[in-house]
Amino acid sequence: MSPPRPPYPHRLHLAQTPTPLSPLPRASSELGVELLCKRDDLTGAALSGNKVRKLEFLFAEARAQDADIVLSCGGAQSNHCRATAVAAAELGLASRLLLRTPDPTSPPAATGNILLDRVVGADIVWITPAEYRDRAARFETECAALRAAGRRPYVIPEGGSNALGSWGYVRCLEELLPELGVPTTIVYAAGSGGTGAGLVLGKRLFGLDHVRIVGVNVCDDRAYFVRAIGDIVEDAITRWKLELPGAAFSRERDIEIIDGYVGRGYAQSRPVELASLVALARSEGVILDPVYTGKAFYALRSELAKDPRAFGERVIFLHTGGVFGLMPPAVADELAEVL
């Protein structure tokens, strides 16, 4: 008997789903496992990647609150902020993005995601890394000013990563249920915790004890993501009074993070990571991004080189999008060195 369907909150239809699950035959042969790719890079064009699944729920709440402008935040080339700005334009809302850069007086050029932010009319506010760390206070200031001017703001957190946004990846796991009848490991890139939280929550809601959910952190460390993902999952359980089959949720048992692949740091690539990205593109025609999926796939490849049975015999790699991260000149110059 199939598990009962979870009590999904209301959502808008923004993503092109379900996304395909594609075999990677040549990479499978090379790595010695059955390797498949969940193509969440195909959730749309400009509105592509994993963020749109979360935004379906977050924008539904924004609309229910009669918001006329959404605010969010991220790094200069944030995929999440680009998706937020595109979705806002599609829904007839304004958007304001707090983007992090070392020197706000000399912001990065309008390339990649920044260019798309500007094309769809987002109001970009450049802030320093120090200001970004206190972004909650900055959001309060921005919202107070907007309300004083008669606007109705709605704040979407970094990465869309909160309890409401995490339902996007409960839905993603539900799409995969027909393919999860045998032991399988799902590997994903962990950047803000929301994708991992949805996958972990979905695993527990659907009773998938034979499925492993493995995150590769692309910033911070394992302890940070156990805390961030745990907070989101526990908030969702409390907010929607969720009943999980079997044992109670446990951060240490249910959250698996492979640390050690941050490399040079967030949004900074090493030649070996870019070479791995290029190799997959040439063998399978699947193009990863340098910030998230490129690091995660390099980790997958490296862990299998150390132990061919590290993830079992069947692995689904979650492609969370981000192709526009390849477009900035600095990234193109680094790629040119490995091409």
Active site residues: 78
CA-to-CA distance for 222 and 216, rounded, in angstroms? Answer: 9
C-alpha of 187 from chain center = 12
Tokens of 264: 């040079």
Question: Who's near 334: CB < 8 A, 6+ residues apart?
Answer: 269, 271, 274, 290
Total residue length of the chain: 339
Burial of 211 (0-12, 13-18, 19+ CB in 10 A): buried
Please classify residue 158 by burial: count the beta carbons closer than 10 Å to its beta carbon, then call 0-12 exposed, 13-18 middle and 19+ buried: buried
Cβ-contact 256, 215 below 8 angstroms: yes
